[in-house]
Amino acid sequence: QAADIKVVVNADQPGPVIHRNIYGQFAEHLGTGIYEGMWVGPESKIPNVRGWRKDVVAALKDLHVPLVRWPGGCFADEYHWREGIGPRAQRPVKVNTTWGGVAENNAVGTHEFFDLAEQLGAETYVNGNLGTGSPQEMAEWLEYMTADGNSTLAQLRRKNGHAKPFRVHYFAVGNESWGCGGNMRPEYYVDLYRQAATFLKTPQNNRPVFIASGGHDARTDWTETLAKGLKGVPFDAISHHGYTLPTGKWETKGAAVGFGEDQWISTLAHTQTIDAWVRKNTAVLDQHDPKKRVGFYFDEWGSWYDPEPGSNPGFLVQRNTLRDALLAALHFHVFHANAERVKMTNVAQMVNVLQAMILTSKDKLALTPTYHAFKLYVPFQDATSLPASIENNPVYLVGKTEMPSLSVTAGRAKDGKLYVGLVNANATQAAELALQVGANAAKAVKGQLLTAGAMDAQNELGKPAQVVPVPFEAQAVGGKLTLKLPAKSIVVVAVEG
Ligand code: AHR
């Protein structure tokens, strides 16, 4: 007989705050992520505010999107900001050479991006071009965005419709400089970063957090070289990336739907290893930055599957299923557990690309299972993390792959309530667990459950949604609070007593 499972939350041992920007989003000029998916232009019949789709913005506002990263990704290192300002009809049309070879008409540029962020009430993360740009181009972009005096660039911004400076919260110097951003060695990148950062000046009250491009796996060479080499120049955080591929192979990543339990578990088990990536890298950072001033941002994460059959492979279109919802929740748990350094992350990406929140086609829109996972975890934005542990966590084993069945996170939210998030990764076995706060059983819980009948249940455009949250509650009986988690489920609850 299996031993009793017990989840214990230590509410009297507050840890670091779970920065709301852990729930940040990424919007790149890629496929229909921005154009069509969010930007339809002011002349469109699809209801919009200054070109941005009303329905998409409203759905994203419900997620309390705290931050948006733009314009890439790989696209950022080929983006020239001057091509995206001024009258739209006069902006140059380029080829998006990174993503699908399609026309990029620059309709969305600096002003449009900041308008989107304002409509969402989100902070802004602008990714600078180190790959094909220059320190001068980056410095002038920052001046255009932030200068408040009478410089020609500040006047140009005013002429283009924005009297006040834009607030740039984060600014990155290049993206994936080990790959699409220039195939550099970390030592070479450090020299280029030092040179560029010397000239990245803004008014003191509009200084962004300066981010350096880092690594993309468990290796720590980028983190170490940056931490050692970037002393004495503006440098506040490292950008680290990590995607989850069911097979772990870029050539054949695995299908987004119609997969077996072997790829269900390989996907979720991989996501849990990201915890070790973060810990190894932050341990290296601790050696060089013991005061923990430098942030470790996981600013691209999510599932990456084989492209949707029939789609442009450069558009990174993929279905989004219950598996993605659990994958998102497991990432949140990893990020909460590392909240001391991980103060910002961005899921890739916001709409129609990779692990999207929203899928659109013409005027239709579907909220994906990932969307609902994000919504369930909203109370954790700016919550104080609390240690939580699982006794007798059952092992989930499929073939040779194994992982713990259950995962937990806990926090004291800004509303004063204690929240617990639970994932049961096991695709076939439900779990019954006793929930305690310290030595005592919780009195009651109330919240929501996300699950579905099939591992690849999805919310398709124009069809009834298969993955939607439902109410979940339980009361203590005889001094014991038992939670019944269905197989393949997420539960987020507020705890009483
Ligand atoms: O998110 C898609 C791409 O993945 C980004 O452009 C790049 O930074 C990463 O390789």
How far away, in angstroms, is 204 Cα from ligand 1 center?
A: 31
User: What's the rounded Cα separation, in Å, for the pair 429 and 404?
Assistant: 12
How far away, in angstroms, is 73 Cα from ligand 1 center?
A: 5
Instruction: Decide whether any atom of ligand 1 lies within 6 Å of the 175 Cβ.
Output: yes
DSSP string, 26-89: E--SSTTTTBTTTB--TT-SS-EETTEEHHHHHHHHHTT--EEEES-SGGGGG--GGGGSS-GG
Task: Name the residue at shortest CA distance from atom 6 of ligand 1.
Answer: 73
**Nearest atom of ligand 1 to the alpha carbon of 75:** 6
Strand segments (E) across 209-331:
209-213, 237-244, 295-303
List active site positions. Answer: 176, 300
Instruction: Decide whether any atom of ligand 1 lies within 6 Å of the 356 Cβ.
Output: no
How far away, in angstroms, is 348 Cα from ligand 1 center?
A: 8
Q: What is the best residue among 180, 243, 317 to mutate for testing ligand 1's pocket, by most ligand atoms within 8 Å of CB?
A: 180
Residue ranges of the domains in the chain? 5-10+386-496, 20-382
193: left (phi over 0), alpha (psi -120 to 50) or beta: alpha
User: What's the rounded Cα separation, in Å, for the pair 442 and 451?
Assistant: 24
Instruction: Decide whether any atom of ligand 1 lies within 6 Å of the 31 Cβ.
Output: no
pLDDT tens, per residue, the chain with 497 residues: 567 999 999 999 999 999 999 999 999 999 999 999 999 999 999 999 999 999 999 999 999 999 999 999 999 999 999 999 999 999 999 999 999 999 999 999 999 999 999 999 999 999 999 999 999 999 999 999 999 999 999 999 999 999 999 999 999 999 999 999 999 999 999 999 999 999 999 999 999 999 999 999 999 999 999 999 999 999 999 999 999 999 999 999 999 999 999 999 999 999 999 999 999 999 999 999 999 999 999 999 999 999 999 999 999 999 999 999 999 999 999 999 999 999 999 999 999 999 999 999 999 999 999 999 999 999 999 999 999 999 999 999 999 999 999 999 999 999 999 999 999 999 999 999 999 999 998 999 999 999 999 999 999 999 999 999 999 999 999 999 999 999 999 999 999 87
- For the record, the structure tokens of 70 come out as 């733009």
458 DSSP 8-state letter: B
- For the record, the structure tokens of 51 come out as 């070109």
Task: Name the residue at shortest CA distance from atom 3 of ligand 1.
Answer: 73
Q: Which overall architecture, per CATH, does domain 20-382 show?
A: Alpha-Beta Barrel (3.20)
Spatial contact of 71 and 127, defined as CB atoms under 8 Å apart: yes
**Nearest atom of ligand 1 to the alpha carbon of 300:** 1
Note the ipTM here: 0.99
Instruction: Decide whether any atom of ligand 1 lies within 6 Å of the 181 Cβ.
Output: no
Same fold for the pair 5-10+386-496 and 20-382: no
> Which class is domain 5-10+386-496?
mainly beta
Task: Name the residue at shortest CA distance from atom 4 of ligand 1.
Answer: 73
Task: Name the residue at shortest CA distance from atom 1 of ligand 1.
Answer: 348
Instruction: Decide whether any atom of ligand 1 lies within 6 Å of the 177 Cβ.
Output: no
